[in-house]
Amino acid sequence: MIENAYGREKVESPANQAPLNEHWMKQLNDRTKLSPDSFDSVQPDAKSFLPKMELVENQKDVGDSKTGDTKKVVYESNIEEATKKAKAQGKPLIIIFSASDISKEMDRRRDDCRQYQDLADQAVFARVDLDKLPDKERQDLMNKYQIHFAPTTIIQDPVTGEQKSRLLGHSAFPESDAAFMDSIIAGSDHWYGQYIKLAQSVNDSIKTHQVTSETIEKAEQAVKLAADHFGPEHIYTLSMEKTLAQALCETGDEHNLKRAQEILSSVLNKGMNNFDNVQRPANQKIYDARLIMECGINLGNLQVEFGDKSRAVYPYQKALDALEYLNDPKLKQVKMMLLKKIAELQMPIN
DSSP string computed for 35-87: -GGGGGSSS--TTTTS-SEEEPSS----S----S------EES-HHHHHHHHH
Residue 43 shares a structural domain with residue 72 = no
Q: What percent of the chain lies above the pLDDT cut of 70?
A: 78
Residue 207 shares a structural domain with residue 137 = no
Is 184 part of a structural domain of the chain? no
**Would you tell me how many other CB atoms lie within 10 Å of the CB of residue 19?**
13
Distance of alpha carbon 339 from the chain centroid: 29
Among 17-21, 118-122, 175-179, which is the least confidently predicted range? Answer: 17-21
CATH of the domain at 73: 3.40.30.10
pLDDT above 60: residue 199: yes
Contact 153, 60 (CB under 8 A): no
CATH of the domain at 271: 1.25.40
Domain count, the chain: 2
Is 306 part of a structural domain of the chain? yes
Residue 210 shares a structural domain with residue 342 = yes
Is 12 part of a structural domain of the chain? no
Task: Tell me the per-residue pLDDT of 284-341, one tens digit each, with 9 for 90 and over.
Answer: 999 999 999 999 999 999 999 998 888 999 999 999 999 999 999 989 999 999 999 9
Is 118 part of a structural domain of the chain? yes
Is 237 part of a structural domain of the chain? yes
Residue 47 shares a structural domain with residue 77 = no
Is 301 part of a structural domain of the chain? yes
Q: Report which DSSP code applies to 234.
A: S
Residue 279 shares a structural domain with residue 309 = yes
Is 175 part of a structural domain of the chain? no
Q: Report which DSSP code applies to 331.
A: G
Residue 248 shares a structural domain with residue 333 = yes
Whole-number pLDDT of residue 346: 85
Residue 32 shares a structural domain with residue 132 = no
pLDDT above 70: residue 6: no
Is 176 part of a structural domain of the chain? no
What's the pTM?
Answer: 0.74
Among 11-15, 53-57, 93-97, which is the least confidently predicted range? Answer: 11-15
Task: Tell me the per-residue pLDDT of 245-272, one tens digit each, with 9 for 90 and over.
Answer: 999 999 999 999 999 999 999 999 999 9
Report the DSSP beta bridge partners of residue 168: 152
Report, as an integer, the average pLDDT of 21-41.
38
Whole-number pLDDT of residue 259: 96
pLDDT category of residue 32 using cuts at 50, 70 and 90 = very low
Q: In angstroms, rounded to a whole number, what is the distance separating the alpha carbons of residues 301 and 99?
A: 45
User: Residue 87: which domain range?
Assistant: 64-170
pLDDT category of residue 188 using cuts at 50, 70 and 90 = low
